A and B are shown apart, each in its own frame.
Chain A
């Protein structure tokens, strides 16, 4: 569920507005709830699912240039439903809001470059197509080139223009692609990932174009209601090991400090075959902490990941400590999202790897307020 507290915040904001104006309205009104029995098919389900309120396409990756410079990147497209059927026939009436985040981490210099966008569809300058992968926000876009994905997001002096091969193909999480987030059956999302996409293309850093190669991870998730009261934040891992294994893990944190039982993960074999990991199969131990000078939040930037059922012990370390995003101009949510390096053992074999880590709910107002 590569998290996206972001979305939580947006959901909150829209919910408050709706509540403020029409006390009877519930944010989910008019939107479909996630139910079992919808088989994911591609490329159809790369496309937008506009019956559902919340949807995101999420690309992260670790890349390096020919001369060995290392970079992390993140490009995210959000679609947040506001009103499934606006009464106003104007093209500018807001059915959905489209947001996008772009971040490039220059690991060598420890610098994080970020940009964000927030727009309505209007005359089609932002949007997401149904039936195939095509999502865009201004001139930032992700679409298909055969089976490969193209991701382009350049903001003036920095950005990415990448070609992502399908690699192992999509892996559905949870049961039949439904990822449970809460005790209520509807509080869930459809969720799949393409966990290892061989990537080539160019980065733009300070106006300089750099040829890069590496591996990306794509997440696509959609649903209408996600979290429940008491869930304050989450920690999410996408790890690509050098033995060809990919691991997705997340834990929901509760306001009483406990881990929410709706935490889970997915183990993806080099062949692409995947197996779910239940909450009791994963142990995530925070280690060294980093204090963000801008938000004052304290994030664990080193983690010990134990998967006893898989005989796996991994140390996950932030490639750069300062990878916090402040998205005031789009979502107003502050979260940590960054490239990590992995070392450890899988069944006595030493492994290394790369990945991305997302930590939410460490800064700003209590997230429990979001979901009533």
Chain B
């Protein structure tokens, strides 16, 4: 232990800058991994806990196919009472405009309090203050009027709302005057959604949300739901679930409330998986740095190792000392990485929640607090990987013979067979990458695809010593011609240190390759989306409600608003888009079933077809038939082709529909099935549209019409009306926001990598003080020395970027054609963002050159008398 303290800890403390960079690298690596994990679980757990607590004592729920449960069916389900208490529920979102002028999205539960109270404990502030509980009838009477709304204590405090305060409830486009009749205590469901909960009577909710005759679900609390033993309870619920499933009519399903959470989880799995994979890149860079640090400390202290060995230290001891160094670095990095990661997670949640369709509108995604589990995870990830990375230099140290070490014979390890071995390794990795890229997805996740990407990344890393060796052999003449004596000296210095530089350059190469690949993928994706938007957004104006509910029931546009819009003289055609969530296939994947007016779509265009080429004819075949067109991601995920029959659940039971076309869609990776609105109405009943497309008289200014329409719908209807151009811009804005986190992660990796290069250079300089002093002695000017070091740094930068570009292109191919297709099912047209790549190359050269400035300054101060 004493030896470890003196030999390793003292050295780490002594060489502060290198240790610091390594620790920063590890910290950032761990932090990014932790952050992404926290952000992912945070968003899912936020949803799941909200679900749990809002589900309350609910054991099971009856749900319909997409559009909900028709009341007429419920009337026949009186037998459900044999199993337990039954409560019908309307579960929607709306916005509350408080007297303070703020508008807040809230989760709205429409319930029959007489039935619902045993499900969710509701207690009202006023009555609790009076020291009594509210009787069910009193509670009901508070809510009977359609203007009555019950909000939460927390919400009330935040917005200055008290009993009998008038508020506005904005539902879809309609503004509804309401009066606060009660405030729920800050507990149970009211607490979990951060107080953003509104309670309505079920009758009022049906009326206000346009759901007369329909329920969103029917909850069931089994009579023996309070069995003390959770296992017993679970078995009973299972039994009841089976029995009920067997008795339910077609079109209805029974499930546990958690099922909804699982569906959302499934829906986000691909997104989260890819984000997680990306986060590990930062960790990989951190590991390169650990390797680098340990390698440097092994090499720079050969003589000391030799002395130790001569004094009787065993190989094991030596190996242990250096592995210990790696472990210390990893532990410090993990320890610091946790809190940093927690902070990063907040930023990531902010970014992803605006991109993952705002998850669930009133469910504030929060970052869970750090637990012991996170510490264990951070250490479990960081320490073994760091030890693995350090194993190579540590072994090298252990293998050293005392004589060779003490003699300090080959301080810069001879390259020997290293380049050749690295070349073989690289080839092997590239080969396996090629094989992996051809494998299918596993459970909807691109496991092999990522394996391929990883193989390419390590292949590129292995290629670095080979390339450095090539530069050593071939670079001397051009460097001398172009940069004269400083170039020659720089080349000589780098050539001598190939084995040392290989690792830090490899780290930079990996980061840059990833950046290049991501830039190409995002750029291609953006081009594709831009083209798609241009082809499919044909209408002149688009009308939507301010709220969007990406999961769950859609927010709809009222008939009055539609009528007002249609009556404008310049509006020649109007198409409403209806959509519902539907579960599909054996895994009950959440898909979107949409409906539009195919006649209008055929006339004005609006879908971009993949197959068959004549999409218009295909759509015509789908009119007045049990037929649909499906999105590319649906076709790919569910292995569906044109002319296949697919089974869709409907309120009338499962029905077969023929697929007449596959079209491109980038609006959702959930998979879309679209049918003509007449077909939809036949199977799913009348439903208000969630969006409208307006086609105008040729020649009129859409901006002018838009303003006129906004005047017409006035204050009674809260609608967003966007012109074609504005919507395109909006689509791209959302697109860019989605990928902001990707760039942020990459930037972190690159910063770490450049720091790595700078410290490696610095170490080299420190080791070469004698030589540098000698150079000064033989007449080298300070400027020349500085230039020499900066050239070294820039050379490394340019080299890294060169390799990074090539490997990045390969990686981007894997990202676009393997990982993207497997996780999202999108066709992305390949596009090289040349401008961006050129800029980044220049930027990297300049940045690495700048990173060389500090080592250069150290170098200029070197004199002959310096000792290491």
Which A positions have Cβ atoms within 8 angstroms of B?
Answer: 10, 13-14, 17, 21, 82-83, 86-94, 97, 118-120, 122-125, 138-139, 156, 328-332
Whether B114 pairs with A119 at a CB distance below 8 angstroms is yes
Over the window 199-218 of chain B, the binary record of Cβ atoms lying under 8 Å from chain A Cβ atoms (1 yes, 0 no) is 00111101100001100000
Complex Cα–Cα for A90 and B146 (A): 11
Residues of the A chain whose Cβ atoms lie less than 8 Å from the Cβ of B115? 119
Q: Are B88 and A122 in contact (CB-based, < 8 A)?
A: yes
B174 CB to nearest chain A CB (Å)? 15
- A138 with B114: CB separation less than 8 A: no
Q: Is the CB of A330 within 8 A of B140?
A: no
Determine, out of B131-139, B503-511, B615-623, B641-649, the stretch whose residues face the partner at the interface: B131-139
* Chain A positions within 8 Å of B145 at CB level: 21
B148 and chain A: residue at smallest CB distance? A21
* A97 CA to B115 CA, complexed, in Å: 13
B203→A88 contact, CB < 8 A: yes
**Is the Cβ of A123 less than 8 Å from the Cβ of B74?**
yes
B223: interface (CB < 8 Å): yes
Q: Is the CB of A330 within 8 A of B88?
A: no
A118 and B137 contact, Cβ closer than 8 Å, known pairs A92-B202, A92-B203, A123-B74: yes
Report yes or no: A156 in contact with B141, Cβ–Cβ below 8 A.
no
- Within B109-167, which residues are at the interface with A (CB < 8 Å)? 112, 114-115, 135-138, 140-141, 144-146
Identify the 7 closest CB pairs spanning chains A and B, nearest first.
A92-B203, A90-B203, A123-B75, A93-B203, A17-B141, A90-B206, A92-B202
The residues of A that contact B138 with a CB separation of less than 8 Å are 13, 332
B204 near A88: Cβ-Cβ < 8 Å:
yes
In the complex, the answer to whether B146 meets A329 with C-beta atoms within 8 Å is no
| Of the residues A94, A139, A328, contact of B144 by C-beta under 8 Å | A94
Instruction: Please name all residues of chain B whose beta carbon is closer than 8 Å to the beta carbon of A124 when the two chains form the complex.
Output: 75
Minimal Cβ-Cβ distance residue in B for A123: B75
Contacts of A119 in B (CB 8 A): 114-115
- Interchain CA distance A330-B115 in the complex, whole Å: 12
Q: How far is the CA of A83 from the CA of B146 in the complex (A)?
A: 13
Which residues of the other chain, A, contact B203 by a CB distance below 8 angstroms?
86, 88, 90-94
| Partner of B137 from A13, A89, A138 at Cβ < 8 Å | A13
- Contact at B81–A138, with CB atoms within 8 Å? yes
Query: Is B311 interfacial (CB 8 A cutoff)?
Result: no
- Nearest-neighbor residue (CB-CB) of A119 within chain B: B114
**Contact (Cβ within 8 A) B74 A94:** no
Instruction: Please report the C-alpha to C-alpha distance between residue A88 and residue B204 in the assembled complex, in whole angstroms.
Output: 7
Bound state CA distance, A82 and B143, in angstroms? 13
Q: A118-B114, A123-B71 are in contact. Are A329 and B141 (CB under 8 A)?
A: no
Q: List 21 A-B contacts (CB under 8 A).
A: A10-B137, A13-B141, A14-B141, A86-B203, A87-B146, A88-B207, A89-B212, A91-B71, A92-B202, A93-B203, A94-B140, A118-B114, A118-B136, A119-B114, A120-B140, A122-B88, A123-B74, A330-B136, A331-B137, A332-B137, A332-B138
The CA-CA distance from A156 to B222 in the complex, in Å, is 13
Q: Assuming A91-B213, A122-B88, what are 10 further A-B pairs, CB within 8 angstroms?
A: A10-B137, A88-B206, A89-B207, A92-B206, A94-B203, A119-B114, A124-B75, A125-B75, A139-B81, A329-B136
Residue of B nearest to A10 (CB): B137
* B704 interfacial contact with A, CB 8 Å: no
Residues from chain B with a CB closer than 8 A to the CB of A88 are: 146, 203-204, 206-207
Any A CB within 8 A of the CB of B474 = no
- Is A328 within 8 A of B140, CB to CB? no
**Known pairs A88-B146, A118-B137, A328-B135; A156 contacts B75 (CB<8 A):** no
Residues 166-223 (chain B) with a chain A CB within 8 angstroms: 201-204, 206-207, 212-213, 223
Of A14, A17, A83, A86, most B-chain CB atoms within 10 Å:
A17
CA distance A332 to B138 in the complex (A): 9
The answer, yes or no, to whether B78 is at the interface (CB within 8 Å) is yes
A158 to chain B, nearest CB (A): 15
Structural contact, A92 and B136, CB atoms closer than 8 A: no
Interfacial chain B residues near A138, Cβ < 8 Å = 81
A21–B136 alpha-carbon span in the complex (Å): 19
Give the chain B neighbours of A330 by CB distance below 8 A: 136-137
**Residue in A closest to B201 when the chains form the complex, CB atoms:** A92
Residues of B within 8 A of A118 (CB): 114, 136-137
How many whole Å from B686's CB to the nearest CB in chain A? 15
**Which of B75, B78, B135, B212 interacts with A90 by CB under 8 Å?**
B212
Shortest Cβ distance from A21 into B: residue: B145
Is the beta-carbon distance between A17 and B114 smaller than 8 angstroms? no
Determine the chain A residues whose CB is within 8 A of the CB of B75 once the complex forms: 123-125
Identity of the chain B residue whose Cβ is nearest the Cβ of A332 in the assembled complex: B135
B204 touches A125 (CB 8 A): no
A347 to B59 alpha-carbon distance, docked (Å): 64
Indicate with 1 or 0, residue by residue over B448-485, a CB within 8 angstroms of chain A CB atoms.
00000000000000000000000000000000000000
> Please, which residue of chain B has its CB at the minimum distance from the CB of A87?
B146
Residues of B with C-beta under 8 A to A17: 141, 144
Q: How far is the CA of A133 from the CA of B588 in the complex (A)?
A: 47
The docked-state distance in angstroms from the alpha carbon of A83 to that of B202 is 16
From A80, which residue of chain B is reached at the shortest CB distance? B137
Assembled-state Cα–Cα distance A10/B140 (Å): 12
Determine the distance from Cα of A118 to Cα of B138 in the docked complex, in whole angstroms.
Answer: 12
Interface centre among A91, A92, A97 (most CB of B within 10 A): A92
Rounded to whole angstroms, the CA-CA distance of A138 and B87 in the bound complex is 13
B135 to chain A, nearest CB (A): 5
Given A88-B204, A92-B112, A92-B203 in contact, is the A97-B146 Cβ separation under 8 Å? no
Bound together, the chains give a CA A328 to CA B136 distance in angstroms of 8
Question: Which residues of A lie under 8 Å from residue B204 when comparing CB positions?
Answer: 88, 90
Query: Chain A residues near B212 (CB, 8 Å)?
Result: 89-91
| Residue in chain B with minimal CB distance to A117 | B114
Q: Select one of A14, A87, A125 contacting B78, CB under 8 A.
A: A125
Residues of A within 8 A of B72 (CB): 123
Residues of B within 8 A of A86 (CB): 203
Chain B residue numbers with a CB within 8 Å of A92 are 88, 112, 201-203, 206
A17 to B145, CA, bound (A): 10
Q: Among A83, A120, A139, A329, point to the contact of B135 (Cβ < 8 A).
A: A329
The CA-CA distance from A156 to B201 in the complex, in Å, is 28
Which of chain B's residues has its CB closest to A16's CB?
Answer: B141
A332 proximity list for chain B (CB < 8 A): 135, 137-138
**Which one of A17, A90, A122, A332 has the greatest number of beta carbons of chain B within 10 Å?**
A90
Closest approach, in angstroms, between the C-beta of A269 and any C-beta of chain B? 41
What is the bound-complex CA distance between A118 and B114, given in angstroms? 7
Chain B residues within 8 Å of A83, by CB: 144
B475 to A: closest C-beta gap in Å: 82
Checking B112, B136, B137, B141 against A122 with a beta-carbon cut-off of 8 angstroms, the contacting residue is B112
Distance in angstroms from A34 CB to nearest chain B CB is 25
What is the bound-complex CA distance between A93 and B201, given in angstroms? 9
Smallest Cβ-Cβ distance to A122: which chain B residue: B112
Residue of B nearest to A94 (CB): B144
